[in-house]
Amino acid sequence: MSTINLPLNLTVRVHPVVLFQIVDAYERRNADSERVIGTLLGSVEKGIVEVTNCFCVPHKEHADQVEAELGYASDLYDLNRRVNPSENIVGWWATGQEVTNHSSVIHEYYARECNNPIHLTLDTSLTAARMGIKAYVCVSLGVPGGKTGCMFTPINVEVTSYEPEVVGLSLCAKTIGVQSNPARPRTVSPMLDLAQVSEASGKLQTLLGEVLNYVEDVLAEKQQPDNFVGRALLDLIHSVPNMKHEEFAKMFNSNVKDLLMVVTLSQLIKTQLQLNEKLTSLTSFLS
Nearest to 97 by CA among 119, 64, 117: 119
Burial class for 121, CB neighbours closer than 10 Å (0-12, 13-18, 19+) = buried
110 in the same domain as 56: yes
Q: In this predicted model, which residue has the larger pLDDT, 140 or 153?
A: 153
Cα 106 to Cα 120: distance, rounded to the nearest angstrom: 12
- Give me the number of domains the chain comprises: 3
Q: What is the CATH number of the domain that holds 143?
A: 3.40.140.10
184 in a structural domain = no
pLDDT at 2 over 70: no
236 in the same domain as 281: no
Its domain, for residue 219, covers: 190-240
pLDDT at 175 over 80: no
Average pLDDT along the chain: 85
Contact 50, 85 (CB under 8 A): no
Contact 150, 1 (CB under 8 A): yes
269 in the same domain as 128: no
2 in a structural domain = no
Q: Where would I find the H helices in 180-226?
A: 193-219
152 in the same domain as 54: yes
Cα 141 to Cα 61: distance, rounded to the nearest angstrom: 26
143 in the same domain as 129: yes
90 in a structural domain = yes
209 in a structural domain = yes
Please give the radius of gyration of the chain, using alpha carbons only, rounded to the nearest integer: 26
CA angle 171, 176, 182 (to 5 degrees): 115
| pLDDT given at position 8 | 67
Cα 192 to Cα 187: distance, rounded to the nearest angstrom: 16
115 in the same domain as 16: yes
Grouping H, G, I as helix, E, B as strand and the rest as coil, residue 226 is: coil
139 in the same domain as 46: yes
| pLDDT given at position 3 | 41
6 in a structural domain = no
pLDDT band for 1, please (50, 70, 90 cuts): very low
Most confident stretch, 110-114, 124-128, 176-180: 110-114
Stretch among 95-109, 117-131, 183-197, 200-214 having the lowest mean pLDDT: 183-197
Quick: pLDDT tens for 180-195. 666 666 677 777 777 7
41 in a structural domain = yes
136 in the same domain as 55: yes
Grouping H, G, I as helix, E, B as strand and the rest as coil, residue 99 is: coil
199 in the same domain as 82: no
Other CB atoms within a 10 A radius of the CB of residue 18 amount to: 22
134 in the same domain as 200: no
138 in the same domain as 43: yes
Grouping H, G, I as helix, E, B as strand and the rest as coil, residue 8 is: coil
Nearest to 199 by CA among 233, 176, 174: 174
Percent of the chain exceeding pLDDT 90 equals: 33
228 in a structural domain = yes
**Which pTM does this prediction carry?**
0.67
136 in the same domain as 228: no
92 in a structural domain = yes
Contact 112, 92 (CB under 8 A): no
Quick: pLDDT tens for 197-236. 788 888 889 999 999 999 999 999 888 988 998 898 888 8
pLDDT at 247 over 90: no
- List Cβ neighbours of 88 (8 Å cut-off, separation of 6 or more): 41, 42, 43, 44, 114
- List Cβ neighbours of 157 (8 Å cut-off, separation of 6 or more): 11, 12, 13, 14, 120, 133, 134, 135
Burial class for 108, CB neighbours closer than 10 Å (0-12, 13-18, 19+) = middle
Residue 43's identity, in one-letter code, is: S
- SS percent in the chain: helix, strand, coil, step 5: 45, 25, 30
Quick: pLDDT tens for 31-86. 888 889 999 999 998 889 999 999 999 988 887 788 888 899 999 999 999 999 99
For residue 52, the 8-state DSSP code is E
Burial class for 135, CB neighbours closer than 10 Å (0-12, 13-18, 19+) = buried
Cα 153 to Cα 41: distance, rounded to the nearest angstrom: 20
CA angle 176, 178, 181 (to 5 degrees): 120
The mean pLDDT value for 260-283 works out to: 89
